[in-house]
Structure 1
Amino acid sequence: MRLKALCRIVAVGLLALPLIPLQWLAVRWNWRLARGLPVFFHRCVLAIIGVKVAVTGREARERPLLIVANHVSWLDIVVLGSLAPLSFIAKSEVAGWPVIGLFARLQRSIFIERDRRHKTGEVTAAIAARLRAGDAMLLFGEGTTSDGIHILPFRSALLGAAREAMGGGDTPAFVQPLALRYVRRGGLPIGRGAMKEVAWIGDVDLAPHLIGVLSGPPIDVVVNWGEALAYDTATDRKVLTRKLEGDVRALARSVDPAPLARRRG
């Protein structure tokens, strides 16, 4: 089984080798390619590691757009990154991870130092600037990974970035809920026991979890897009956070594995 993981790692490495310098140049010189190349990369990675994604709904066209999703595993980055040009709002530790940190920086992620609350304003301003530039940003509402069965309470602090993106004007920003659920592995439904092999919980070391996912059978995941919500100067941030949390929970409960018969919807 470890041989399978090794083969997949080598294949991803060979894929990344020419794409890393190309993406670096695209980001450096602000080419349009910088947004689309990560989508191509993530889709290829999913094919290599045996993950099938089914999608219900679609990304909102309104801008500025902040997407708020639940968080289960490091695999979420690859799954969601394969759907559309997105940039992630990630914890600062990710920037220092081998390989994954490099990919995150090349996808123009914004990193949060969770233990330094005085820097929240700086992060919010950085997110707002990207939203105003037309980039769709994705925030994991729970702030950490869950067990893949339950959704943790959402945090409201960084939703202030959507308000700041309005620049004090009357035109609203938009916040869109998104839910993902890992539903099958090797063709069998993922129960609590199998979910422990997919969900990356707490202080579990990355390397053994990575090997476990890559050496195992194919995984099926369903992604549900919700309706985008307008966020204007009259919106209460905490009320909006509770609304988004409820919407993501409802989207996760409504996941239908049937769409897995098709690649994307």
Structure 2
Amino acid sequence: MIAWLRIALAVLVVAAATVVLLPFQLVALRFDLKLRRHIPRLWHRVACRMIGLKVTVHGVPEKSRPLLIAANHASWKDILALGSVVDVAYVAKAEVRGWPVFGTLAKLQATIFVDRGEKRKAGDQADEIAQRLAGGEIVVLFPEGTTSDGNRLMEIKTSLFGAAASAVPHAPEGVVHIQPVAIAYTGIHGMAMGRYHRPIAAWPGDVTLLPHLLGALREGAVDVEIDFGERIEYRAGSNRKAVAREVEARLRAMLISRLRGR
């Protein structure tokens, strides 16, 4: 009974925050005001608090622009956790646009939707990301291309860094900054999180969303640690595969270190 009361309270508070912030965000989106970049962070903070995500940050977000964040991806909770810390725009697969609730929230946050099955559109999609970067927005890529089990980093898809190459000509100094960011789920109810509780944190994708969401709400009290790594410069002469390998190595090192409690 207590668990269901907690779920009801969380839903009511998040819904209330949505009702309050929605008009401001709609106006900001309509007139492309910079305010649209800041409002989602307020909503994410409320959502994290009510869902039970305790976010701890290590390091600092890079201040140089254009900035592309490359983060590992275990769950929809990554979006809430990272979005509660820094004003960002996410890159998501096109089908997310049609998801109930999550699709609407993604559109309200001005998410960049990409269709990975349409190679003919790849250039246009990379250009859209480049334009957003050039406009000063921090764009988040999940270069694994899918969610993992949260215990490891999957192979990074180098093609997703085409956006950095497209943005270089528009960068004032001819450089796009890529910051690796590791998101690790390390505890639950104040105790270290083992493999038994990992399904609460991670959402591999073969589990139906609603049951997983309800399970996360019932459990609550999940510790999330976000590590902001050192930036990597992407220039006109940079090798995309080499940059991707460097990003992958740094992400893996930060994630493994945090999961091992170092």
Q: Could you state the TM-score of these two structures normalised by the residue count of structure 1?
A: 0.93
Within a 5 Å distance, the mapping from 1:250-265 to structure 2 comes to 250-255=253-258
Structure 1 stretches lacking a partner, 5+ long: 260-265
Aligned residue in 2 for 1:36 = 38
Report the CA distance between 1:168 and its aligned residue.
Answer: 6.9
Report the CA distance between 1:91 and its aligned residue.
Answer: 1.0
Report the CA distance between 1:4 and its aligned residue.
Answer: 2.4
Q: 2:20 aligns with which of 18, 24, 34?
A: 18
Write out the 4+ residue segments of structure 1 that deviate beyond 4 Å after TM superposition: 256-259
Report the CA distance between 1:107 and its aligned residue.
Answer: 1.0
Aligned residue in 2 for 1:228 = 231
Aligned residue in 1 for 2:213 = 210
**Alignment coverage as a number of residue pairs:** 259
Aligned equivalents of 1:234 and 1:179: distance in 2? 27
Partner of 1:174: helix, strand, or coil? strand
Aligned residue in 2 for 1:114 = 116
Residue 91 in structure 1 maps to residue 64 in structure 2: no
Partner of 2:69: helix, strand, or coil? strand
Q: Could you state the TM-score of these two structures normalised by the residue count of structure 2?
A: 0.94
Aligned equivalents of 1:161 and 1:68: distance in 2? 12
Aligned residues with identical type, % of pairs: 38
Aligned residue in 1 for 2:186 = 183
- Residues 20 and 257 of structure 1: CA distance in aligned 2, closer, same or farther (over 3 Å): farther
Within a 5 Å distance, the mapping from 1:67-216 to structure 2 comes to 67-167=69-169, 171-216=174-219
Residue 238 in structure 1 maps to residue 224 in structure 2: no
Residue pair 1:2, 1:211 contacting (<8 A) in 2 also = no
| Higher deviation after alignment, 113-122 or 189-198 | 113-122
Residue pair 2:69, 2:138 contacting (<8 A) in 1 also = yes
The one-letter code matched in structure 2 to 1:167 is P
Partner of 1:221: helix, strand, or coil? strand
Structure 2 stretches lacking a partner, 5+ long: none
The one-letter code matched in structure 1 to 2:206 is D
Report the CA distance between 1:161 and its aligned residue.
Answer: 1.1
Residue pair 1:222, 1:257 contacting (<8 A) in 2 also = no
